[in-house]
Amino acid sequence: RLTLPLGPSNPLLRIIANRENLDWKLLRGIASKGLTNLSKGTASQGVTWIRSSSFSRADGSPWDFRSDVPTLVLAGAGDRLIPEQNVTYACSQLSDCRVEVIGLDEGYITDYGHIDTVLGVSARDEIYPLIGDFLDGQPSVDQGGSAGE
């Protein structure tokens, strides 16, 4: 199974998480239920992104970042998988994008890694409200698909 190696001694976790901030019970639950249906193609594309240090579509063509949708991008100060400069670059390709670096120097309780922005013990108190506030600040969209106040 793909999820078996996601335990505390897995060296991959040094790259994708701040292990001191992980909610291990939540990680095990997501790993056992969420990753079991990960297709080989999706996993392969993720590996390609990591190896090439660039985003591309499954067919190898460049990923077009252009969008006018308001976007909040989180950059974990302890993220060794996607460094802050890569996050900042991706955000710079969007017309309405805000980068939030989440780490000790920015006043957060820890230097967040890649997955502990969702699975961290501090995420519920620090990250979820940040995302909620960002979403609350966006115009609502009615059922017809047009923006409204």
In percent, the amount of the chain with pLDDT more than 70 equals 75
**pLDDT attached to residue 74:** 95
- Provide mean pLDDT across the span 34-50: 71
Q: Minimal CA–CA distance to 1: which of 25, 47, 29, 37?
A: 37
Q: What pLDDT band is residue 2 in, cutting at 50, 70 and 90?
A: very low
List, for residues 47-94, the tens digit of each pLDDT value.
Answer: 777 677 676 776 777 777 677 889 999 999 999 888 888 889 888 888
Q: Which of 112, 91, 93 is nearest to 103 (CA)?
A: 112
Distances (CA, A) of 12 to 41, 74, 101, 148: 20, 20, 22, 44
pTM summary value: 0.71
Integer Cα distance of 135 and 62 in angstroms: 28
pLDDT the model gives residue 72: 96
Strand partners, 101: 75
Under a CB-based contact definition with an 8 Å cutoff, are residues 93 and 65 in contact? yes
